[in-house]
A and B are shown apart, each in its own frame.
Chain A
Amino acid sequence: ETGVTQTPRHLVMGMTNKKSLKCEQHLGHNAMYWYKQSAKKPLELMFVYNFKEQTENNSVPSRFSPECPNSSHLFLHLHTLQPEDSALYLCASSPLFGQLYEQYFGPGTRLTVT
């Protein structure tokens, strides 16, 4: 299934590095999301973009910087991360019309901060 793709799938970075996560959706959706999933914790919504505009920032530290150049692409720029930021980062997309707003997820980037 290639509806929502994410790269890289795995990333190891030091606390002083800068890296970016990329997400692309091929479903014609207008909303995109970043989630964080840590071990044994529920998915945590980080950011929401509707028609390329950020509509939600769920109190995410500034060391995470999202970018949405168009409705199909979403980036998460990372800098000076902490070891506790190690987690699975999931991108999702959804339509914006209709009642249900079902979201479809990419395979995630497993991030390890050393």
Chain B
Amino acid sequence: DAGVIQSPRHEVTEMGQEVTLRCKPISGHNSLFWYRQTMMRGLELLIYFNNNVPIDDSGMPEDRFSAKMPNASFSTLKIQPSEPRDSAVYFCASSLGQFQTQYFGPGTRLLVL
């Protein structure tokens, strides 16, 4: 079975541009999580969804960040406008349920110049 799929794998953009990261969870998984990894802050949860509904977005840094899950097989994380401090690796993870083991995608490495 395919694992969690993320696209793009790498993104380089200029400050002020809109960035959209995409995630396809494992088929049948009901929970989806977005994490960010930086040297300074390590791995931190941004937001998670259960059955396509956002449950906890307290980790979203600010209004420039938004996430959607229009259906069970697709989620987006959007940054508008992007800033250099948003440079990081963004991971998507999915699980069978909110309290089940999470499986991670390969990540999107974002560089904002």
Verify that A and B bind, or say they do not. no
Contact surface of B with A, Cβ cutoff 8 Å: none
Contact surface of A with B, Cβ cutoff 8 Å: none
